[in-house]
Chain A
Amino acid sequence: MTEPSPQSTAGASTTGAEPRTGSQLVKRGLAEMLKGGVIMDVVTPEQARIAEDSGACAVMALERVPADIRVDGGVARMSDPAMIQGIQEAVTIPVMAKARIGHFVEAQILEALGVDYVDESEVLSPADEAHHIDKWAFTVPFVCGATNLGEALRRIAEGACMIRSKGEAGTGNIVEAVRHLRSILGDIRALTQADSTEVFDWAKRLQAPLPLVQEVAATGALPVPLFCAGGIATPADAALAMQLGAQAVFVGSGIFKSDDPAPRAKAIVEATSHFDDPHILAKVSRGLGAPMTGIGMDDLDLRLADRGW
């Protein structure tokens, strides 16, 4: 773990006999625990139990999966608290839930419900066209989407404790998630080659805080875990994300919009654990039935990944 940013320790000591909640170490710590796992979108307690039975390391509780949000249109908001609580009661694994970008009151409500991670998500309709949530103000940790390194570091500066690729949610098409992972990880690799003078220019071009850019240049990694989301539909998709350098995967519509969710969920869990073993990938990919129907990027009217600033 890297040291928390100065904001997190202001006015409080990290050592002492008094237990301390909501610190960066504790918030980023849960993201560490989710590595190598699959976080599954679920809309009912029954789906949540299928996810847990399949080996999901967490679930994302929401009213509609992204594929349905895309079809339904209109304004997509935080889920009904009763629905989130129903899922919390159904499973023992962590439960995450989504708040709209910039909608800090939805985030306050999710924190009051005791959700384990808040996803400030572009899948919902943005509530603020300029500002994301000040995530330092919360005890609950946040995950945010990013399409490139600058966006990832801006979210971390705002207090995000986990970054995920945005991909293009609800499409069953991995191409955008691959673009985002390659962009983030490729820029990290290039940044580690920059000399100390060039790092200033990197910060300017990335529109990201200099101390975070310097940290990435020195360590060769984001200061928080990097997961993949957006378009994973098959075990091979999950393993692709992991081999590219993601540390865990979110699967949204890909499981419960497929023909036979339970075996697919289990196969994606195994593929994420054994992402670098093609023999196991071949075994778990057999006979899963039809995946969700995918959508080509040229056929999209709405790009969810364009949301966020």
Chain B
Amino acid sequence: MKVGVLAIQGAFAAHAAVLESIGVAPVEVRRPAHLEGLDGLVLPGGESTTLSMGLDRAGLTDPLRAFVGSGAPVLGTCAGAILLATQCLDGRSDQVQIGALDVVVRRNAFGRQVDSFEVDLEFPALAAGAPPGRSAAPFHGVFIRAPAVEEVGPSVEVLARLEGTPVAVACGSVVATTFHPELAADPRVHEFVLGRSPAGRR
């Protein structure tokens, strides 16, 4: 299995390390040609404004949109989640929205870096990997200048919440988290996403 990691800017190396740890070959994606032959894609955290301009300058916006719409598993984290959303608040008016998830997100909703935090999250959908009858162990959420999901459309499934606010959402094979599973030393979110089929394995 070959999974791309958008490598324009951001935490692409940390995602690549998680993929390698579960036996998946990561491919750094910087140009449209790099999307060929991929079985999945990760849109990492970083600065969404920088990523957005980098996508446009590299001619990647439309190829990326096509790939995300193809039904392959896609994981967007933090800035990657912002890219996947249909609408972004407190961003730039020219920011790219892939629009694969019918959600409204607000950038830097939790404050500045001094307000960034880590906390355990209930993530019931990860129970697929747990022994029969057991619920999933909490997933350690690392939130760095994180966005918040403020509105969720009817097509979107909420996978995890923090004090009521969705922090992991999905639509079919496209999953977004406002936290950073690549920093948690726990590959369960990556495994969960790569195991989702277009039909929506629930």
Q: Which residues of A contact B (CB under 8 A)?
A: 1, 14-23, 25-27, 29-30, 32-37, 52, 54-58, 92-94, 111, 114-117, 139-141, 247, 269-270, 272-274, 277
Contact = CB atoms under 8 A, between A and B. Distances in A.
A92 B140 CA distance: 27
Q: Which 6 A-B pairs have the closest CB atoms?
A: A116-B113, A19-B117, A36-B9, A19-B119, A55-B53, A32-B11
A29 B50 contact: no
A9 to B, nearest CB: 12
Interface in B83-130: 90-92, 107-108, 111-120
Given A33-B10, A36-B12, A270-B57, A26 B50 contact: no
A32 B78 CA distance: 12
Q: Which of A57, A117, A141 counts the most B-chain CB atoms under 10 A from its CB?
A: A57
A14 B118 CA distance: 8
A35 B112 contact: no
30 contacts: A18-B119, A21-B117, A22-B114, A25-B183, A26-B143, A27-B113, A30-B113, A30-B145, A32-B180, A32-B183, A33-B79, A34-B46, A35-B46, A36-B8, A36-B10, A37-B47, A54-B53, A55-B54, A57-B47, A57-B50, A92-B90, A92-B92, A92-B107, A115-B112, A272-B9, A273-B9, A273-B30, A273-B58, A274-B30, A277-B31
A61 to B, nearest CB: 13
B145 A94 contact: yes
B7 interface: yes
A35 B49 contact: no
A114 B11 CA distance: 23
Contacts, number: 141
Contact of B180 (A29, A94, A247): A29
Number of contact residues on B: which range applies? 35 or more
A116 B145 CA distance: 9
Given A32-B183, A247-B13, A26 B117 contact: yes
Given A33-B78, A35-B11, A116-B113, A26 B118 contact: yes
Interface string B15-48: 0000000000000001100000000000001110
Q: B-side binding surface: helix, strand, loop or mixed?
A: loop
A1 B138 contact: no
B185 interface: yes
A52 B48 CA distance: 11
Q: Which of B53, B79, B113, B185 counts the most A-chain CB atoms under 10 A from its CB?
A: B113
Interface string B118-161: 11100000000000000000101011110000000000000000
Q: Which of B57, B108, B111, B138 counts the most A-chain CB atoms under 10 A from its CB?
A: B57
Contacts of B142: 25-26, 29
Nearest to A93: B47
A25 B118 contact: yes
B76 to A, nearest CB: 14
B171 interface: no
A95 to B, nearest CB: 8
A141 B114 CA distance: 8
Contacts of A111: 114
A19 B142 CA distance: 10
Contacts of A25: 118, 142, 183
